Chain A
Amino acid sequence: MNRSGSAWLVSRIALCDFRLTWKDRSVIIWSLLMPFVFIFVFGQIKGGGSPSDVKATLTIENHDDGPVSKALLASLGRENLALVFEIPEGGEAVRSLVIPEDFSEKVLSREKTRLVLRKDEGSNSEAGQTAEVAVARALVKTVSALLEIEGGIIREGNGPISMEGDSLSGNLWITLENRPDGAAALEADLDSIIARAPVITVASSFAGKAREIPRGYQSSVPGNLVMFVLMGMAFSGIVITQERRAGILARTAVSPARKRDIVAGKLAGRMMVGIVQILVLLVAGRFIFKISLGNDVAALVILMVAFAFCCGAFSLVFGSLFGNPDQVAGFAIVTTLVMSALGGCWWPLEVVPQPFRIVAFCLPTGWTMDGIHKLISFGYGLGSVAAHILVLVLFGAAFLAVASARLKLAR
């Protein structure tokens, strides 16, 4: 590299700024540690991990000792439920399944019976639905097993299990009255059928791209990433005002470095800091908070570099518009919080009314959040975020133009 050329000077200024940034312990706390706290807290509030990790709790109040209720419970045990067999002390269960005393007897004799699924009013509705579906699936499985056993008896004749009814009309049912060993045999048969791997499984997936609203860490990691990178960058505008006051910018300006080299160096230094922050949070998001990074990591990297460019230029605007570090701090916090809230960092843009979605797309945070979720939550690729990348670069270029025009190197 030519040691008197612009590239050399820009790299020296950028490296100096990069090194200076990490000398400040508060930067490490606010850029790298606090985001983890926020990601964890907001991730938990928004539902923790991915939906498949959620197990609905179901308390079983079983008053029947028959083989059908046992088969039903075995079947429920294979569902994604947390079964509880003891009623909590001093209160009702959040949701419970009541199996009546004569449940097995009535099912076997084909009489009408009723299972009761109780749900507390304040309980999680999504978990309630999960439990309801699981009970229905377990019932279908149990009844199917019974039918299979009945079919076997009709084809192969009575073994330990007896049937009675009208064989001509086909109105037959299992009876345990004449064979004392029948109940045990029926229980064993039901167990073996329920334990069998299903012959047919249904794999479901979204047709096209998923549009499920991001939740849990899948929402809190990108939201906090965008907010904290933006905040760190906005606050780094303070450093520019301090350097101006100390005469450091003026001293740099009388070295062989021109104003354009200084602006480019400051921008590059900030981008380097932002990229480190983004990398740390994305890697932590993937391996600690177990979020998906989507199918096109290269597109995510390009989008994040564009975001870092935009934020770096945004920081220079703060440093060039204000002469006082306190002014920068005040505007930085307000601007960051407003842009984060309106841009979808705190809640998904999918749940806000249309006017707010329009506002979000007037801000770099809105474009970034939408782009990130397209890649990591909805499985899109580079083509679908090309516009986002372009818009972020344009935002950055506009910020850079303002900063270059307004940046004063001397007091």
Chain B
Amino acid sequence: MIEVNGLRKYFGNVKAVDGLSFGVKEGEIFGFLGPNGAGKTTTISMLSGLLRPDAGTITIAGMEMSGGGGKARSIMGIVPQEIALYEELSGRENLHFWGSLYGLSGARLREETDRVLDMVELSDRADDPVGKYSGGMKRRINLCAGLIHRPQIILLDEPTLGIDPQARIRILDIVRKEAESGTTVIYTTHYLEEAESLCKRIAIIDQGRIHAEGTLAELVKLVGEEDIVTITGDFRADAFPALPEGTRIDRIADGTARLVVRDHGAVGSMLSGFFSSGLRVDTVAISEPNLQGVFLKLTGKELRD
């Protein structure tokens, strides 16, 4: 459904997007996971036709985007990071306007407006000015404005930014249902748990480049089968007890150690080494391989909210 090859975008000397290539199948939720400034929004802007790439090609449903998108734009729904709504107009009036830009009018426009308002459970507040909505309600109408014309492709750029967990869950459910009905979704986020729970395939992006791409299981394999064990207690970095085979130190400081353990069973013998040396252990945390670990391994930094 979407094919991107060698996509590049420069802002002056800054490489915002540096040779991105990926493909998204019909009905798939494809996630872009990366920190702020990674190039996610620039990529979405080029996919939607707002920005012209400096190099590379984008094909949407078999149509080249090089000439500005043309017909391809009419089958896409965009949900931008900003609340791009008229605060003075009601939710319904906003949806009428955005729907009309996609050719909806009359009874069809009214029906589709009612449909999306029901979907986000805002029918009872539809005639209030958007300026009087809470942040979560605005986000939901922002989502509706991208879905009202039943697009074949939805581009969502951090659609849950700055909202409460309940509203986030509601938005994720809607995105999931859209994908289940055959809509292709590209979803950018810097929330690990969103990418893990929602996306069928994930591209890890940082500094304009895709560092890895695949399903969650495929990405986790990149960091191997190893667990991360974090120990805190009363010990010194230069007097650390001997470690069992298959265990190595990732990071260590006085009082905190982060270890990579190939086998869970090694944790017990490791702790015995601590106790026999007379060292006090306060906490032991074991984490299995996850996106955080993948991101850390690929980019050398942690992804934080």
Contact A19 B89, beta carbon cutoff 8 Å = yes
Interface string of B63-83 (1 = CB under 8 A from A): 000001100011010101111
**Does B98 make an interface contact (CB < 8 A)?**
yes
Contact A3 B105, beta carbon cutoff 8 Å = yes
Q: Within the assembled complex, what's the spacing in Å between the Cα atoms of A12 and B149? A: 16
**Does B225 make an interface contact (CB < 8 A)?**
no
Interface range, A side: 20 to 34
B74: chain A residues within 8 A (beta carbon)? 4, 256
Determine, out of A168-176, A181-189, A242-250, the stretch whose residues face the partner at the interface. A242-250
Residue of A9, A20, A24, A248 near B84 (CB, 8 A) is A248
Contact A254 B97, beta carbon cutoff 8 Å = no
| Chain B residues touching A, majority SS | loop
Say whether, besides A246-B83, A246-B84, A247-B80, A256 and B101 are in contact (CB < 8 Å): yes
Residue on A nearest B146 in the bound complex, by CB: A251
Interface string of B47-71 (1 = CB under 8 A from A): 0111100000000000000001100
Contact B101 A252, beta carbon cutoff 8 Å = yes
A259 → chain B closest CB, angstroms: 9
Contact A410 B88, beta carbon cutoff 8 Å = no
Contact B102 A253, beta carbon cutoff 8 Å = no
Residue of B49, B88, B98, B103 near A4 (CB, 8 A) is B103
Contact B86 A248, beta carbon cutoff 8 Å = yes
**Does B203 make an interface contact (CB < 8 A)?**
no
B98: chain A residues within 8 A (beta carbon)? 251, 255
Q: Within the assembled complex, what's the spacing in Å between the Cα atoms of A251 and B83? A: 10
Q: Within the assembled complex, what's the spacing in Å between the Cα atoms of A22 and B261? A: 67
Contact B101 A12, beta carbon cutoff 8 Å = yes
Contact B80 A257, beta carbon cutoff 8 Å = no
A7 → chain B closest CB, angstroms: 12
A255: chain B residues within 8 A (beta carbon)? 73, 78, 98, 101-102
Residue of A246, A248, A256 near B73 (CB, 8 A) is A256
Interface string of A246-284 (1 = CB under 8 A from B): 111011111111100000000000000000000000000
Contact B84 A250, beta carbon cutoff 8 Å = yes
Say whether, besides A253-B50, A254-B49, A410-B45, A3 and B86 are in contact (CB < 8 Å): no
| Chain A residues touching B, majority SS | helix
Contact B101 A20, beta carbon cutoff 8 Å = no
Say whether, besides A16-B97, A246-B84, A247-B84, A254 and B78 are in contact (CB < 8 Å): yes
B102: chain A residues within 8 A (beta carbon)? 255-256
**Does B85 make an interface contact (CB < 8 A)?**
yes
Q: Within the assembled complex, what's the spacing in Å between the Cα atoms of A253 and B78? A: 11
- Among A352-411, those with CB < 8 Å from B are 409-410
Contact B97 A12, beta carbon cutoff 8 Å = yes
How many cross-chain pairs have Cβ atoms below 8 Å apart between A and B?
Answer: 71
Contact A23 B89, beta carbon cutoff 8 Å = yes
**Does B272 make an interface contact (CB < 8 A)?**
no
**Does B287 make an interface contact (CB < 8 A)?**
no
Contact B76 A254, beta carbon cutoff 8 Å = yes
Contact B88 A24, beta carbon cutoff 8 Å = yes
A218 → chain B closest CB, angstroms: 38
Contact A410 B103, beta carbon cutoff 8 Å = no
Contact B48 A20, beta carbon cutoff 8 Å = no
Contact B78 A251, beta carbon cutoff 8 Å = yes
Say whether, besides A4-B74, A20-B88, A258-B68, A251 and B80 are in contact (CB < 8 Å): yes
Residue of A9, A20, A250 near B80 (CB, 8 A) is A250
B47 → chain A closest CB, angstroms: 9
**Does A38 make an interface contact (CB < 8 A)?**
no
Q: Within the assembled complex, what's the spacing in Å between the Cα atoms of A267 and B80? A: 25
A24: chain B residues within 8 A (beta carbon)? 88
A247: chain B residues within 8 A (beta carbon)? 80-84
**Does B100 make an interface contact (CB < 8 A)?**
yes
Contact A250 B86, beta carbon cutoff 8 Å = no
Contact B84 A410, beta carbon cutoff 8 Å = no
* Interchain residue pairs with CB less than 8 A apart (28): A3-B103, A4-B103, A9-B101, A12-B97, A12-B100, A20-B88, A23-B88, A246-B82, A246-B85, A247-B80, A247-B83, A247-B84, A248-B85, A250-B45, A250-B82, A251-B84, A253-B49, A254-B49, A254-B50, A254-B69, A254-B73, A255-B102, A256-B74, A256-B102, A256-B103, A258-B68, A409-B50, A410-B50
Known pairs A251-B98, A254-B49, A255-B78 / 19 extra A-B pairs, C-beta < 8 Å = A3-B104, A3-B105, A8-B103, A9-B101, A19-B93, A20-B86, A23-B88, A246-B83, A247-B81, A247-B82, A247-B83, A248-B86, A250-B84, A251-B80, A251-B84, A254-B50, A256-B73, A256-B101, A256-B102
B binding-site residues for A, Cβ under 8 Å:
45, 48-51, 68-69, 73-74, 76, 78, 80-86, 88-89, 93, 97-98, 100-105, 145
A binding-site residues for B, Cβ under 8 Å:
3-4, 8-9, 12-13, 16, 19-20, 23-24, 246-248, 250-258, 409-410
Chain A to chain B: the 4 pairs with minimum beta-carbon distance, closest first: A247-B82, A247-B84, A3-B103, A251-B84
